[in-house]
């Protein structure tokens, strides 16, 4: 059975709107990305400068 990540080398996930929306986590995002990270590399990016790098870490 194939999965949506078959053949994918890395996933880059935008934080704002994918992992969280405002101060609220997106339902199942962390669990899903954790499961993906067990198979391939996952990186996190953002284009929202409202939080510092230290706040995101």
Q: What is the pLDDT of residue 22?
A: 83
Q: What is the pTM of this model?
A: 0.70
Domain tally, the chain: 1
The tokens describing 49, both together, are: 């400068």
Q: Domain range holding 34?
A: 10-56
The tokens describing 47, both together, are: 């284009």
The tokens describing 20, both together, are: 């969280």
Task: Tell me, yes or no, whether 1 lies in a domain.
Answer: no
Instruction: Assign 44 to helix, strand or coil.
Output: strand
Q: What is the pLDDT of residues 13-39, one digit of tens each?
A: 998 888 888 889 999 999 999 999 999
Task: Tell me, yes or no, whether 5 lies in a domain.
Answer: no
Q: What is the pLDDT of residue 56?
A: 61
Task: Tell me, yes or no, whether 2 lies in a domain.
Answer: no
């Amino acid at each position: 059975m194939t999965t949506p990540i078959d053949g994918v080398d890395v996933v880059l996930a935008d934080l704002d709107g994918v992992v969280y929306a405002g101060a609220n986590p997106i339902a199942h995002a962390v669990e899903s990305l954790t499961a993906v990270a067990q198979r391939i590399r996952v990186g996190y990016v953002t284009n929202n400068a409202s939080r510092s790098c230290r706040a995101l870490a």
